[in-house]
Structure 1
């Protein structure tokens, strides 16, 4: 059943509930427009790019579910999330892939003079991603770059560094278990208007890995392409049939 919630700087966002997670029904253009409002507000907003694996993780982890419930915006990244919304009879406008949203925000940042901070992945990967993004979007100031290999004892210093850099956008690429809970925990301290987990996007931007061809994306087979390229992802992919079964069960209830 469709709901509407209001968040600071975002206005009213139409959402659909998928297994207890409120997912935005906005298309890409309207999502970017809403996030432009978030930047203008100056207040911190957590943006989650949800896929079936993340929703299943939220059902299994209190920290992940809390992050989902406290996030200001959850967009339908995975094709499975789009499918689930259709199954529940309350479809989203379209898939809003996190990788594409990152680029759309950088593109808008070119026009409005925003700054961005990149946090996560290996040192050489995040540095190369920053270099490539700077060349592609020269009018966006790269306010800082930091790899994702740090422990609890370093959190305070990293948060202070990011806060001092005062970026408009913070892209975080950490492992699936800690990415969203970390953002949720430090969101207010970070004070960044748009904080978005981007998973493996830095790997693709840097050239370390390739994104699925457009035809496979259209056929909603991007997950299969990634699995073929990275067979070690198979245990994580087992969440997909579990997600489908959970949706079918919830639909019958």
Structure 2
């Protein structure tokens, strides 16, 4: 699969259909497959956080979640095929799992969020098998607590559930670090960090209206609804400026 780099961070030039197809192949071959879904903020942070940079580099598939990456690729005259958002890819994989008999595990959010998300996913996809759920408030290497009992308990819970796919909603970069640090300890096949997607499935957070989604302006909608995000959104102009100045510069 062809990749390009934006500010040194590798991104796969895939559309949604191709992304799902690659996951399907990994499942069929019983192969471990790690998906990362960076946006502009994550790319900027990866240029500061060497561990995150190396994790993204090692991932089996890196899809362009943010519209900023798609626009940057056009500036660089190597356009990505389309924006592949994490929540839309997750939904496509849930649909695929429901239709093909694969089980999923949900981890993240406050107590009860993953369970509520699971119930709503079952309503949308009645044939899906939810192998298990767990909240995201636990300590581990991803929080700077190496060999913490919480993390061992979560790993055991996932392995006992024996899912095919694991969706981790701890927020970036914790979710990517949790997956990377424990990939070889977990029995599942496909792993993906999904940010705040479980809150959306649980119904506690409303996704941006479709018009915002189509225009790639979900970040603006979130800033309006959650003003505390504005500081984080400062990474977007930083990203744009670096792309314009550097075009692409490997680390």
**How would you bin the TM-score normalised by the shorter chain?**
over 0.9
- Give the 5 Å matches for 1:90-169: 90-152=78-140, 153=148, 154-169=150-165
Measured on the aligned residues, the alpha-carbon RMSD in Å equals 1.3
Correspondence for 1:46 among 27, 34, 50: 34
Q: Structure 1 unaligned runs (5+)? A: 1-12
User: RCO (CA 8 Å, sep 6+): is it higher in 1 or 2?
Assistant: 2
Give 1:252 deviation, angstroms: 8.1
In structure 1, C-alpha distance between the alignment counterparts of 2:231 and 2:107, rounded to whole Å: 26
Instruction: Tell me by how many angstroms 1:191 deviates.
Output: 3.1
Q: TM-score, normalised by structure 2?
A: 0.92
CA deviation map 1:122-173 (0-9, x unaligned): 1222111011011211222100100000012111221122122221110000
Please say if residues 41 and 193 of structure 1, whose CA atoms lie closer than 8 Å, have aligned partners that are also in contact: no
- Segments of 4+ moved more than 6 angstroms: none
Structure 2 stretches of 5 or more lacking a match? 141-147
Tell me which protein shows more strand as a share of its residues. 1
User: In 1, are the aligned partners of 2:171 and 2:194 still within 8 Å (CA)?
Assistant: no
- C-alpha separation in 1, matches of 2:247 and 2:49: 22
Greater shift, 154-163 or 234-243, is seen at: 154-163
The residue number in structure 2 matching 1:211 is 207
Counterpart Cα distance in 1 of 2:88 and 2:71 = 19
**DSSP 3-state at the match of 2:72:** helix
Q: Is the 8 A contact 2:6 2:248 kept in 1?
A: no
Name the CA distance, whole Å, in 2 between partners of 1:150 and 1:162: 14
Instruction: Give the aligned partner of residue 77 of structure 1.
Output: 65
Query: Structure 2 vs 1, CA of residues 92 and 252 (structure 1 numbering), >3 Å: closer, same or farther?
Result: closer
Identify if the C-alpha distance between structure 1 residues 252 and 28 changes in structure 2 by more than 3 Å, giving closer, same or farther: closer
**1:175 Cα shift?**
2.8
For the pair 1:18 / 2:3, whether they are aligned, the reply is no
Is 2:169 aligned against 1:173? yes
Q: TM-score with structure 1 length normalisation?
A: 0.92
